[in-house]
Copies of this chain bind each other. A is one copy, B any other.
Amino acid sequence: MKTRIFTPGPTPLPEKVRLSQAKQIIHHRTKEFSSIFEDVCQSLKYVFQTKNDVLTFAASGTGAMEAVVANLFSPQDEVLVVRGGKFGERWENIAEAFGLKVTGIDIEWGRAPDPLQIREKLHSSKTIRAVLTQLVETSTGVRYDIESIGKVVSETSAVLVVDAISGLGAEPLLTDEWGVDVVVAGSQKGFMLPPGLCFVSLSEKARKLMDDATCPRYYWDFKKAQSALVKGQTAFTPAVSLICALRESLALIKEEGLDAVLERHRVFALAVRRAVSSLGLEIFAHPSSNAVTSILVPAGVEEKNLRKKLQENFGVMIAGGQGKLSGKIVRIAHLGWMDKLDIVGVIFALEMTLAHLGYDVEPATGVKVVQEVLMGKVAM
């Protein structure tokens, strides 16, 4: 059985990325490694759409979130967290672990925060040092309006910290232009790599916070990482094989062009949304992201069974719901190394599996819609 992963991380690995990891290891304190790492650091700026340096750590994405909290804040600092899903809650949990004071904006899971509400909070509490939020809240599949939030936060002394772990490479994120101070990302999503690397970009405004921040850090120390980076190095032993693989995946992104990569994600997401809707299913997230589509499981179908049969009969792996959404939604990611036949394949398998489970499906309903979208016959 061929396995096909449609989960919002990890995402499938392109052949060049896979094979690069089969090479013999190289030492990291060499010109050879520095040359690779410098190349990677340059390309990361392009994907992050920033003129600032992007720091790389050997860790998964949560590590980068913790690194931001440890480097920019002190115990008792107040931060505003958008609580719209599991990863918003993760910001809160990390901030609380480090003794910060968390003010929350609670939004219904499946919806995005209203930038005006953030504005109101920032103006009513002048002590808020940062807004911690997501580009895509992976657990719900919602895209947040970071451009508008950026405008709101830029008016204040607070910094805007965006977890773009699932969003980067799938959704536009004009880091500098939109006034996003900190962007966090991970390797196993739009970067088409195995998990094990995470990234942080920092604006001048964010860097200024480091001087007063007293939360303890050593491994995550941004100043150490920054000093090493200018010498083509990392502060501590880097995940060499993953960084070599990253060079390959960044080359693929540059070859296709970031705009084309984003457009591909937009069109595939549209195709999936339209196809799923044509089957009478309801999209859970509003606005639904271009990284992952969350779908309410229809009455009469058991979520676990749906995923199990997709896997058993088609080798297709999609994600279930997390936390309080467990059993209620399924999530189809169209993130990273995906092509048109992947998209039609997952819809084909979904249709057949729903029919198999007794849901009323006219054959090829969704498949036809995918084709129409990809032929440009649907308003984009």
Contact = CB atoms under 8 A, between A and B. Distances in A.
Interface residues of A, number: 53
A288 B58 CA distance: 31
Interface string A1-23: 00101010111110000110111
A238 interface: yes
Interface stretch (A156-164, A213-221, A268-276, A347-355): A213-221
B24 A237 contact: no
Contacts of A65: 219
A378 interface: no
Interface of A: 3, 5, 7, 9-13, 18-19, 21-28, 30, 57-63, 65-66, 70, 93-94, 97-99, 186, 188, 194-196, 215-219, 221, 236-242, 317
Contacts of A7: 27
A18 B10 contact: no
Nearest to A25: B10
A27 B188 CA distance: 10
B236 A60 contact: yes
Given A19-B22, A25-B13, A62-B236, A241 B97 contact: no
B24 A62 contact: no
A12 B25 contact: yes
A239 B194 contact: yes
Contact of A63 (B5, B59, B61, B94): B59
A66 B218 contact: yes
19 contacts: A5-B25, A7-B27, A10-B237, A13-B24, A18-B24, A21-B21, A21-B22, A25-B188, A58-B58, A58-B63, A62-B219, A63-B236, A94-B219, A98-B218, A99-B216, A188-B240, A239-B239, A241-B241, A241-B242
B97 A237 contact: no
A15 to B, nearest CB: 9
Contacts of A242: 194, 196, 239, 241
The 8 A-B residue pairs with the shortest CB-CB distance, nearest first, are A196-B239, A194-B241, A21-B21, A22-B22, A60-B237, A97-B218, A62-B236, A98-B216
A219 B93 CA distance: 11
Contact of A58 (B70, B195, B240): B195
A95 to B, nearest CB: 9
Contacts of A23: 18
Nearest to A320: B29
Contacts of A186: 237
Given A10-B26, A58-B63, 19 more contacts: A5-B27, A10-B25, A18-B24, A21-B21, A25-B188, A28-B195, A57-B59, A59-B63, A60-B236, A61-B237, A66-B218, A70-B216, A98-B216, A98-B218, A188-B237, A188-B240, A194-B239, A239-B242, A241-B241
